[in-house]
Structure 1
Amino acid sequence: MKIKRQGALISLMAAGALALTACGSDVNTPQGGATNGAAAPTGTSQVDCGGKKNLVAEGSSAQKGAMDVFSQEYQAACAGQQLAYTPSGSGAGVKQFTAKVSDIGGSDSPLKEGKETDDAATRCGGNPAWNLPLVFGPVAVAYKLDGADSVTLTPDAIAGIFSGQIKTWDDAKITAANGGKALSAKPITVIVRADESGTTDNFQQYLAAAAPSVWTKGAGKKFNGGVGQGAQGSSGVADTLSAADGTIGYVEWSFAQDKKLSMAKIDSGAGAVELTAESAGAAIKSAKTKGSGNDLVLDLKALYASKAAGSYPLMLATYEIVCSKGYDADTAKAVKAFLSVAATNAQSKLGDAGYVPLPQEFQDKLLTAIKAIA
């Protein structure tokens, strides 16, 4: 699948470059590079190929399309070497990494302090694991509602829907968000991830930051809202949403586009904001890193709580979880080669798949961490 971004991608990448300089899809098969022939602000890297021939990675389904690109570019740069990626969800990705089943874990949220970081350190021979954000993309609040060409929701309304407080599409809070225009009286059918998912964790973190008085369910990879019909993986959510009228759910932008789902505008207090390349790029300006050293954990709370005009606040960053030390020599060499390709050469190919290519400044931070893996 090739998702067209047209000229808007240029604005997104420029905004992303400013943001990250300041801060210091199971079926996606991307083709080509930046849209309209525009060169993405990404660099290239000299790759030291070799080591383990067949790397194994597992985790986030949100980054499946990006991992397909990374794998293709890795094989092109390092003949005879490859990486196999299983999009089993972020929860499984962390578990398989800590169990030494995979060489790299993929997760839509960083390792949590406590058991996850402890288990990862044990897996890495007593050394800390690092969270390296390689993929950025927006999360859509997608819906299917006959007769509704456009729906605007406030953070409070979204939190009310996903906690079961708002049950019908003509609820007064939804009507108010849409300028007094009442939508259908049809019941709302909430669709959520059934599996543990970093997308769920990010979505619930967003609700806690943007609608703290309404969302009191906390965060985490398991959906805590107490309502809804569960679906497996991002593709399962998108398929379920497209199958029945009156549904609403959260899913990565590329999956929503693939299924041609309608996506709600979000009004955080400065007017309704449609999910576009420009509005997603504007939101990235709020992203900051809070990890220490080469553990590049992002602090997304300010982004989620942002009320800035023209900014779409519901963004997701996908991490590759790796050992800082503790791999055998062959695995370390191959992991470093793959990540070097993914962080540089392959980034210019991500735009057509619904992701945000990394600017040069952030690539440099990633390369510093990748080179330090031992």
Structure 2
Amino acid sequence: MKMRVAAAAVASAALLLSACAANESGGEAPGGDSGSGLTGTLTGVGASSMASAQEVWVANFQTTNPDVTVNYSPDGSGAGREAFAGGGADFAGSDRAMTAEEVAPEALAGSRCAEGSTAMNLPVYISPIAIIFNVEGVDELQLDAETLAKIFKGEITNWNDPAIADQNPDAELPDLQITAVHRADDSGTTENFTDYLNVAAPEVWDAEADGEWPYEGGEAAPQTSGMVDTVTNGTGTIGYADASRAGDLGVAKIKVGDDYVEYSPEAAAAIVEESPKVEEAGLSPNDQSIELDRLAEGDVYPIVLVSYAIACDSYADPNTAALVKSYLGYIASDEGQQAAVDAAGIAPLSSAVSEAVAGSIAAIQ
């Protein structure tokens, strides 16, 4: 996938998930070695998709490291990458990996990385992207890639269109205009969704994968919470969001081969297992980014996001390096992944991916 280089800037801290209550709650929780001697403040900015997981990760880590404050601001993937490159964050959360060009030393000259350092992409959060909808009287919906692409491109505009009706013979589809909702911000969720549409329905979706919405029309909503609120409060609405945030909204099944597959952590994990590691000249030797195979068949769910923690190979400040290694080591651990399974319904890292990520984190200096 071709990605644009984000301009270096400091992201806004609209919402800080510092989980200060964790420091007041007492009790034991996973998240590092209490008595480790870690002190200081760690700042992350990035994907709103992993906000629920970051809340529990931060709370657990601070409980067992009471002299550490972790702030994670879910301003969106684009904002996270910009903050990291521009020196406004120690690590970023992003629903797509940074490219070799973006992690080159010259691109990180204003960051908190040591001079000459590159950065690494570490998968820590795997989740389906749910196609959420709000259509009165319709509880179940089945869609193939071509129909989904035409809906979001504005070529299918009514819920009783034959292309939808033919796939849903048992549904009472109303004569109602479709309101397709997309993200207003530069979003990794959008980038993963548009990547799927481009790969699975290229004759309709002729725009390459991009974090910024590529077509005119539809309704725009900021961040994951804005997407969910807009679909929930609208009429005849359809959108896309991290599955952990779907709530009581209807969620479409997506056609894979001859079957329609419902999203699940297991189906999301299955497609990740079928996908190779990215091989791109210039990436850090410790990079663990994944090239998702959107056309894999079987019991897989193809609209998946892999969210990355993006960290320096080497930090200018040794204490920051120690904090990053400890925090990222926790969230990628079995304990950290299970905490996110319980809080956000993610698909935990496989043992092979977890081992590779742990090795990369251990190499941070």
Pair 1:327-2:316 in alignment: yes
- TM superposition shift of 1:116: 6.1
Provide structure 1 residue ranges, at least 5 long, that are not aligned to the other structure: 1-25, 31-42
- Contact residue 144 and residue 261 of structure 1 kept, 8 A: yes
Give the whole-Å Cα distance in 2 for the aligned partners of 1:355 and 1:94: 22
Q: 1:58 aligns with which of 12, 36, 45?
A: 45
Q: Which of 123, 143, 160 in structure 1 is aligned with 2:133? A: 143
Residue 151 to residue 215, structure 1, CA distance change in 2 (3 Å): same
Residue pair 1:143, 1:249 contacting (<8 A) in 2 also: yes
Q: TM-score, normalised by structure 2?
A: 0.84
Match in the other structure for 1:315 = 304
**Correspondence for 1:127:** 117
- Indicate yes or no: 2:353 matched with 1:373: no
Equivalent residue number for residue 213 of structure 1: 203
Q: Match for 2:98: what amino acid?
A: L
Shift of 1:220: 1.3
2:25 aligns to what? none
Question: In structure 2, what is the Cα distance between the partners aligned to 1:189 and 1:27?
Answer: 31
Distance 1:180 1:355, change over 3 A: closer
- Aligned equivalent of 2:288, options 288, 292, 296: 296
- Describe the shift of the 1:200–1:372 C-alpha distance in structure 2 as closer, same or farther (beyond 3 A): same
Q: Is the 8 A contact 2:265 2:346 kept in 1?
A: no
Q: Which runs of 5+ in 2 are unaligned?
A: 1-14, 20-29
Task: Name the residue aligned to 1:270.
Answer: 258
Distance 1:50 1:224 in 2: 48
Query: TM-score if structure 1 supplies the norm length?
Result: 0.82
1:31-67 superposed Cα distances (whole Å, 9 cap, x missing partner): xxxxxxxxxxxx9987994455110000100111111
Query: Equivalent residue of 1:177, what SS?
Result: coil
SS of the aligned residue for 1:186 comes to coil
Give the alignment of 1:226-237 within 5 angstroms.
Answer: 226-237=216-227
Instruction: Give the length in aligned residue pairs.
Output: 332
Query: Alignment partner for residue 274 of structure 2, among 278, 281, 286?
Result: 286
Residue deviations 1:67-105 (CA, integer Å, cap 9, x gap): 112212222332311211000000100111111111011
Deviation at 1:327, TM superposition (A): 2.8
Measure the CA separation in 1 of the matches of 2:37 and 2:221. Answer: 40
Bigger mean CA offset, 334-343 vs 176-185: 176-185
**Please, which of 96, 102, 105 is the counterpart of residue 92 of structure 2?**
105
Which sits farther off after the overlay, 343-352 or 228-237? 343-352
1:247 matched to 2:234:
no
Q: d(CA) in 2 for partners of 1:99 and 1:267?
A: 41
Q: Which of 1 and 2 has higher RCO (CA within 8 Å, sep 6+)? A: 1
Whose helix fraction is larger, Structure 1's or Structure 2's?
Answer: 1
Root-mean-square deviation (CA, aligned residues, Å) is 2.5
Kept in 2, the 8 Å contact 1:50–1:333? The answer is no
- In 2, distance between residues paired with 1:190 and 1:116? 34
Residue in 1 that maps onto 2:347: 356
Comparing 228-237 and 342-351, the one that deviates more: 342-351
